[in-house]
Amino acid sequence: MGELLIYGSVALDSLRTPFGERERVLGGSGLYASLAAALFVKSSLFSAIGEDFPKEHLDLLKEQGVSLDFLVQVAGERTFFWRGYYEYDMNVAHTEETQLNVLAHPPPLGALPERWAPYGLLLANMDPEHQLAVLRRCQPKFVAADTMNLWIETKRGALLELLARCHLFFCNEGEARALTEEVNLLRAARQIQKMGPPSVVIKKGEHGALLLSEDRVFLLPAYPLETAQDPTGAGDSFAGAACGYLCYVKSLDDDALRRALLLGTVAASFTVSDFSVTGLLSLTQRELLARYLELRELTSVPELTL
Amino acid sequence: MGELLIYGSVALDSLRTPFGERERVLGGSGLYASLAAALFVKSSLFSAIGEDFPKEHLDLLKEQGVSLDFLVQVAGERTFFWRGYYEYDMNVAHTEETQLNVLAHPPPLGALPERWAPYGLLLANMDPEHQLAVLRRCQPKFVAADTMNLWIETKRGALLELLARCHLFFCNEGEARALTEEVNLLRAARQIQKMGPPSVVIKKGEHGALLLSEDRVFLLPAYPLETAQDPTGAGDSFAGAACGYLCYVKSLDDDALRRALLLGTVAASFTVSDFSVTGLLSLTQRELLARYLELRELTSVPELTL
């Protein structure tokens, strides 16, 4: 059994960025998160795919240490498909086409074993009603979740119910503002914290992230890449690596959270350095650690006396 | 004689933000920078004001330790005036009216003593031809400069000449991109460095700043204020405090630059916490240091072994 169960989308993405284009490549929130988490723990991906999902992709995921025991291939269905593009401001994804396909259905809960509690559960971006259904089925010690603007607008009730049961919640700047109607990010984080999760991470893309945990704040930068080729999956890799590390150390104390988020931003920097999941595939713990130490040095503030 | 000479605008500002409005209050790049620098060194403000500049403002500046020996009040002229507003995204200033008035003329170089070399010279945002004229008149050991998009578009030649003679150059994200036609900020910083200044700071407002110095990068956050009332002068306070500290320690080594920029971001956080220069007036080194240490803790990354 995996130490971290990840529920999220598995997608085939057709996308273009200023640096190139790719057709029907691996994508999806759950998939990026699982690959990143697998750097630290056994990560099990819970999701559904269609008949059209290429077998070589499955082999690749297994090679990378992602458990596919709960990945359900549904006959007569097609895999979730997304087509979009990014302009030079790669913080903004422009969607041209979304086909929910197999993900239009509720999660195949029957594929999960009865009376099984993974240590951690990461609910990557999905319909919050489906996220809640997965959460109710498991009894994890640690619950993290991500969301998107669509659900804040259309499924606020379910999202609030989910928030009340999370330990760690990830959102980006726009989502934090939409959820709280608060422009200031620190105030937004405090409001989200009141909705349930003791730890709130607001992701700011190339500008890094803000963590509010209990009453402590941590400001972390993004790794300063000179060339980002494809931002797809950056946030999911961030959450996946962070939760993978937290389940590996089985701690949510402040230092563990800081290390987890910095590892998350480092994993995300590898993700965006190439298209689709390519940047994550050859990644080792040694490379992650080297970039962690580099980023630690880039933000190190000397002591001061006046 | 002051250890840091600051050339920049002295203005009367009429402005409104979501938190209130003020008529003909103290402003200007040189004025904000001088007040912030005076926290560390004797700062001398070199600029011109008109007959309409209130005497109580002059008294206030002197009380704050800003030397006005080179501040020229010109009979028959009016002080530089700016009217503008900010919406909830306080990173963007909307200008409604600009009256150059006395600042339409070249700087009154005759007011500066002959054969005088201050240790440092901060050329706050002004016409780069005027900045160059001031630089040629002094022979400082250390030259820092700031600019704005207008000059990048209209006076590129003079600005490049200035850049070739700077040790430290400040610009914001938009200016860095306009100057280099490079979207990626680290690459933009490297290009600006090739234009002359060994140290380049790209300011990102609430997202902090990036320093490239020789081949070392420093990423610093902004102090996470829950309420910013008026962003006017944030960048000038940042540059002023940073240069004031550098002249105080008479060093440009990497640790000195990191400390200087963090003190700059702390000074800017006090500036934006109230309207006009109010947030800087009661500020003490003790308060600066306390917030420096707080910000140092907010960004501290624990060691990691995997």
pLDDT tens figures, B13-50: 999 999 999 999 999 999 999 999 999 999 999 999 99
Low-confidence ranges of chain A (pLDDT < 70): 1-2
pLDDT on residue A227: 87
Contacts of A249 in chain B (CB under 8 A): none
Report ipTM for this prediction: 0.89
Residue B261, phi then psi, degrees to nearest 5: -70, -35
**Confidence band (pLDDT; 50, 70, 90) for B92?**
confident
3-state DSSP call for residue B16? strand
Task: Name every residue whose Cβ is closer than 8 Å to that of residue A179 and which is 6 or more positions away in sequence.
Answer: A152, A159, A171, A188, A191, A192, A195
What would the pLDDT profile of B223-250 be if each residue is shown by its tens digit? 999 889 999 999 999 999 999 999 999 9
pLDDT on residue B117: 86
Give A10 to chain B, closest Cα distance, Å. Answer: 29
Give B302 to chain A, closest Cα distance, Å. Answer: 6
Which residues, numbered 268 to 287 in chain B, qualify as contacts with chain A under a Cβ-Cβ cut-off of 8 Å? 285
User: Tokens 């003593």 — which residue?
Assistant: B113
The encoded tokens of residue A46 equal 């819970």
Out of B210, B226, B258, name the one closest to residue A224 (CB). B210
Which residues, numbered 86 to 105 in chain A, qualify as contacts with chain B under a Cβ-Cβ cut-off of 8 Å? 88-89
pLDDT on residue A1: 43
pLDDT on residue A117: 86
Which residues, numbered 171 to 230 in chain B, qualify as contacts with chain A under a Cβ-Cβ cut-off of 8 Å? 183-187, 204, 206-208, 210, 217-221, 224-228
pLDDT at B303 over 90: yes
Out of A219, A227, A302, name the one closest to residue B255 (CB). A302
Radius of gyration of chain A measured on its C-alpha atoms: 18
% residues pLDDT > 70 (chain A): 99
pTM of full prediction above 0.90: yes
Residues B272, B234 contacting (CB under 8 angstroms): yes
Average pLDDT on B179-205 reads 96
Residue A289 touches partner B, C-beta closer than 8 Å:
yes
Query: Residue ranges of the alpha helices (H) in chain B?
Result: 29-37, 55-63, 128-137, 149-154, 156-163, 173-180, 185-194, 234-249, 254-272, 278-281, 285-298
Find, in chain A, the residue whose alpha carbon is nearest to that of B39: A306
pLDDT on residue B1: 43
- Which residues, in sequence order, are bridge partners of residue A12? A26, A81
